[in-house]
A = this chain, B = another copy of it.
Amino acid sequence: MTKPAPVSPRRDLTDAPLLVAARGGVPEHTPVWFMRQAGRSLPEYRAAREGVPMLQACLTPELVCEVTAQPVRRHGVDAAILFSDIVLPLYAAGVGLDIVAGTGPVVEDPVRSAAEVAALPELTPEHVANVGEAIRLLLTELGSTPLIGFAGAPFTLASYLVEGGPSRNHERTKALMHAEPETWHALLDKLAGTAVTFLRTQIESGVDAVQLFDSWAGALSLREYREFVEPHTRRIFSEIAQSGGHVPKIHFGVGTGELLGAMRTTGADVVGVDWRVPLDVAADRLAAAAPHAPAPVVQGNLDPAVLFAGEEAVSREVRRILAEGRAAGGHLFNLGHGVLPTTDPGVLTRVVELVHAETARR
């Protein structure tokens, strides 16, 4: 008798518009979700989070389940995205850091030398077992809505560790990169390993897709990105692709117009685009980077600031983006960056309705 293969908890959501579009197929309507849809724009989120620090919240399964599901219930978006934070796996592995209100993540002991890189703790699946538990709760809670897993990419995590917190100019990070490339690559190698462990945990727990956020990659030139970042990101996508259960891999950063081609050749199935580059232009750049691959799939790219400009302007911009998205091999409608905390959630609901109405196949 052979040992039975482990049963995957993943739901069969083959026809879900998000997954169809991400694979370059023809969905029943253009799928739509919003980066940071689970967050401060929702009163029910603020109520659920009240008094619970961010990183503790990310490791509390029932709370993660609740806030992840809230925007699905309210807006009818085509995907949930796991409520988490970019620095969560570092915190879970034992790196001394905290998220300070009004500032962002603050790292107790910045990592700037080879010895400090070597001493950085490695993430194990046990560290993020609670995230796996949250996903198991969500698979029931979400019914037939896909769940997107989430991790921060090595460059962005490295910047937090090297600078000791959020940075406008990333000067210590870039100095390390250029002055001590071996130390740099050792650091990014560790952070890529962290991302692989974190994403594998999520995939094995049943997420339907993953998004790797490199929030700050747009601070780099293409030359720097190719030499110092892309190999590590490519390793992440390659290793999670081998870990069974093919799930679509989305890659996103802000201000990455110069980097789009290189972000695709990391192995991403879908490349997120911010509002600065029209989706048809982005599709051309992505196609040029991989001329023998299928037509690229894009995600984006409504400027989150436009959500403050009134219904007429929002509708006009949504229609323009849908038209430009048709130039790609597939389009996941999204913002070009995260939902701003002061956004009126009713506007988001209307965007979902409009995207669905404009793209429904009769």
Contacts and interface: CB of A to CB of B under 8 A. Distances in A.
Interface string A296-324: 00000001111111101100010000000
Copies of chain A in the complex: 2
Contacts of A312: 179
Interface in A116-173: 169-173
Contacts of A220: 276
A267 B255 CA distance: 26
Contacts of A337: 169
Interface residues of A, number: 36
B309 A221 contact: no
Interface in A324-358: 337, 340, 342
Contacts of A221: 275-278, 303
A258 interface: yes
A221 B169 CA distance: 22
Interface in A203-237: 218, 220-223
B305 A276 contact: no
A310 B170 CA distance: 15
B306 A169 contact: no
B255 A303 contact: no
Nearest to A301: B221
A186 interface: no
